[in-house]
Chains A and B, each alone.
Chain A
Amino acid sequence: MDRRFLIIGLDSAPSEIVIDRRAEFPVLARLIEGGLHGKMRSSDPPITIPAWMVMTTGKDPGRLGLYGFRHRTGYSYDKMWIATSQAFKERAIWDVVGDHGGRSCLVSIPPSYPPRRVPGELISCFITPDQEKEYTYPKELRAEIEAKFGPYRFDVVFRTEDRDEILKEIYAMTAKRFDVIGYLMDTRPWDFFMFVEIGVDRIQHAFWKYMDKEHHLYEPGNKYETAILDYYKYLDGRIGELLARVGEETVVLVISDHGAKRMKGAFCINEWLIREGDLVLKEEPRRGANIEKTPVDWPKTKVWGWGGYYARLFFNVEGREPQGIIKPEDYEKEREAMIERLMAIRGPNGEAWATRVIKPNEYFAEVRGDYPDLMVYFDDLYWRSAGTLGYGTLYLAENDTGPDDAVHAQEGMYILYDPRRKESRRLDIDITDVAPTVLAAMGLPVPADMRGKVLGSKAGGRS
């Protein structure tokens, strides 16, 4: 192994903040002035799970068989499973590093609960159900960390509308994570170090409307106007402390899993399907009712949907679903017709939307696992999808499940800083370029089934 490599993961960080506003972040600016940097096109879907795993395995979601946090269990109407670390079977950067006798330190990379065995150390992520669970590998690491720093903080939860409280919690979580990371850097031997700071995503979801003048809920002169940028400045300082620890020989990648942008609203996918006659309920739903808990008249239903940052549509196919009614020979025709109707959806004021629809089984070279029949990005993800029912409208000004001012953007950001090269260049990349680039920079062979490019190929080549 030639070089050590550090990945600083900033969940959801957009290039419009990190790169375009670098004058406000001296540490990140120094890396940008000496490294490759630009936009990073995320996976489809551009969601935390599977994006971090796409990045670290170099495999797309179809190959991983993961299309979000939850999946249908087979073709059931109401059974679902949550993707944990055990859902990822493909080999990641740390496995290759381990094959060559190297050690990795992995902190809070989603999903890493239950903690997997790695050659090195691991602390799990925000999927950890609670503090009482085993959340480290090796197990003993947990007691060591808690003795020194108190209980680890995995996440903040938006149980409250009190923004001061949320802000306080985000800072407390991030401060502790950086303390723990610094400690691991000092006390453990490592060749590959990677951590993900989820606080970036949380602060953006909770405070975007206070910052973005184009947001429909923006209020000029509000007290949280600089909350997001202040947090990035804090991160910049903490990243600076870590870089001082790792020395000038380590290659550093600062990267997000996807970007972020203002949320325009939530589109009620199941309400729309009801109006279109594709979904039939047995009774009027109460406001905010969940589709899984609502009695659906399946023998009359053709299509239903799930919400989140993007919509997943499921077709009720004869011989496939328990009470399917779409004839298998009509499936493609129905799907094409649905795509046409989805693309024609307009905003609440009749404005045209840049909606994108994906057929997973055609889009991915290989499609595994429990994939939906269609994936839909309403208005290029500006409109999230509300799967809940009973609002009497198709358009919600706010998220159906809590405070949420931001949505995901397809493109995140990256800065690749190699102290031996110090070449500042703007270059947009794909998320699958990351794993091969890291391995090549470390002088390790790149597995042939990682399809991405090795960036700045002077650093190494493919095996």
Chain B
Amino acid sequence: MDKEFTTISIPTALYKKVEDTIRGTEVSSVASYVAKVVGEALLKAEAEPEVLSKEDEEKVKDRLKALGYID
């Protein structure tokens, strides 16, 4: 867990909405909820599952053959 914190501003209306959402749950504060959600969003963005399509793979394979890397 990070020990250093900093302050950011969010719209009051959004703050209230989060407060309503976490009421009665295990989440202890609006801050920890926002940190958790932002963290998850970043992880998802990082995953970017762009793989080679079949067609792209064939293109790359042909080039690797022409270059002598594979036969």
Point out residues on A near B: beta carbons under 8 Å.
47-48, 68-70, 81-82, 84, 86, 114, 117, 126-127, 129-130, 133-134, 155, 157-159, 202, 205, 290, 306-309, 384-388, 399-402, 404
| Distance, CA A307 to CA B68, complexed state (A) | 9
Given A114-B50, A117-B46, A129-B52, verify A157-B60 contact (CB < 8 Å): no
Q: Mark B53-71, 1 if CB is under 8 A from A, else 0.
A: 0011101110111111111
Which residues of the other chain, A, contact B45 by a CB distance below 8 angstroms?
A: 117
CB of B48 within 8 Å of the partner chain: yes
Question: When the two chains form their complex, are residues A157 and B67 in contact, meaning their CB atoms are under 8 A apart?
Answer: yes
CB of B51 within 8 Å of the partner chain: yes
Measured CB to CB, the nearest residue on chain A to B45 is A117
Question: When the two chains form their complex, are residues A159 and B70 in contact, meaning their CB atoms are under 8 A apart?
Answer: no
Question: When the two chains form their complex, are residues A290 and B71 in contact, meaning their CB atoms are under 8 A apart?
Answer: yes
Question: When the two chains form their complex, are residues B70 and A388 in contact, meaning their CB atoms are under 8 A apart?
Answer: no
B56 smallest CB distance to A (angstroms): 4
**Most chain A CB inside 10 Å of its own CB: which residue of B48, B50, B51, B70:** B70
A371 smallest CB distance to B (angstroms): 16
Given contacts A82-B57, A387-B70, 16 further A-B contacts (CB under 8 A): A68-B70, A69-B70, A70-B61, A70-B64, A70-B70, A84-B52, A117-B46, A126-B63, A127-B60, A129-B55, A130-B59, A158-B67, A205-B67, A306-B71, A308-B71, A402-B66
Measured CB to CB, the nearest residue on chain A to B69 is A69
Given A86-B51, A129-B59, verify A158-B66 contact (CB < 8 Å): yes
What 3 pairs between A and B have smallest CB-CB spacing?
A307-B71, A387-B71, A129-B56
Measured CB to CB, the nearest residue on chain A to B55 is A129
Question: When the two chains form their complex, are residues B71 and A155 in contact, meaning their CB atoms are under 8 A apart?
Answer: no
24 A-B pairs in the complex with CB atoms less than 8 angstroms apart = A47-B69, A69-B70, A70-B61, A82-B64, A114-B48, A117-B45, A127-B60, A129-B55, A129-B56, A129-B60, A130-B56, A130-B59, A157-B63, A205-B67, A205-B68, A290-B71, A307-B70, A308-B69, A308-B70, A308-B71, A400-B71, A401-B65, A402-B66, A404-B68
Which residues of the other chain, B, contact A205 by a CB distance below 8 angstroms?
A: 67-68
Q: Mark B26-63, 1 if CB is under 8 A from A, else 0.
A: 00000000000000000001101011100111011101
Given A127-B60, A155-B63, verify A309-B52 contact (CB < 8 Å): no
Main secondary structure of the interface of B (DSSP, over half): helix
B17 smallest CB distance to A (angstroms): 30
Question: When the two chains form their complex, are residues B48 and A117 in contact, meaning their CB atoms are under 8 A apart?
Answer: yes
Given A117-B48, A129-B60, verify A402-B69 contact (CB < 8 Å): no
| Distance, CA A133 to CA B51, complexed state (A) | 12
Which residues of the other chain, A, contact B67 by a CB distance below 8 angstroms?
A: 155, 157-158, 202, 205, 402
A373 smallest CB distance to B (angstroms): 18
Which residues of the other chain, A, contact B66 by a CB distance below 8 angstroms?
A: 157-159, 401-402
B68 smallest CB distance to A (angstroms): 4
| Distance, CA A290 to CA B50, complexed state (A) | 29
Measured CB to CB, the nearest residue on chain A to B64 is A69
| Distance, CA A388 to CA B65, complexed state (A) | 11
A233 smallest CB distance to B (angstroms): 24
**Most chain B CB inside 10 Å of its own CB: which residue of A48, A68, A70:** A70
Question: When the two chains form their complex, are residues B59 and A388 in contact, meaning their CB atoms are under 8 A apart?
Answer: no
Measured CB to CB, the nearest residue on chain B to A386 is B71
Which residues of the other chain, B, contact A134 by a CB distance below 8 angstroms?
A: 50
Which residues of the other chain, A, contact B48 by a CB distance below 8 angstroms?
A: 114, 117
Which residues of the other chain, A, contact B60 by a CB distance below 8 angstroms?
A: 82, 127, 129
| Distance, CA A303 to CA B51, complexed state (A) | 31
| Distance, CA A81 to CA B71, complexed state (A) | 14
| Distance, CA A155 to CA B60, complexed state (A) | 12
Measured CB to CB, the nearest residue on chain A to B42 is A117
B14 smallest CB distance to A (angstroms): 27
Question: When the two chains form their complex, are residues A308 and B57 in contact, meaning their CB atoms are under 8 A apart?
Answer: no
Which residues of the other chain, B, contact A387 by a CB distance below 8 angstroms?
A: 70-71
Which residues of the other chain, A, contact B61 by a CB distance below 8 angstroms?
A: 70, 82
- Checking A48, A84, A129, A130 against B69 with a beta-carbon cut-off of 8 angstroms, the contacting residue is A48
B27 smallest CB distance to A (angstroms): 28
| Distance, CA A402 to CA B70, complexed state (A) | 11
| Distance, CA A308 to CA B61, complexed state (A) | 12
Measured CB to CB, the nearest residue on chain B to A48 is B69
Measured CB to CB, the nearest residue on chain B to A268 is B71
Which residues of the other chain, B, contact A308 by a CB distance below 8 angstroms?
A: 68-71
| Distance, CA A332 to CA B50, complexed state (A) | 40
Which residues of the other chain, A, contact B71 by a CB distance below 8 angstroms?
A: 290, 306-308, 385-388, 400-401
Question: When the two chains form their complex, are residues A68 and B50 in contact, meaning their CB atoms are under 8 A apart?
Answer: no
Which residues of the other chain, A, contact B56 by a CB distance below 8 angstroms?
A: 129-130, 133
Which residues of the other chain, B, contact A306 by a CB distance below 8 angstroms?
A: 70-71
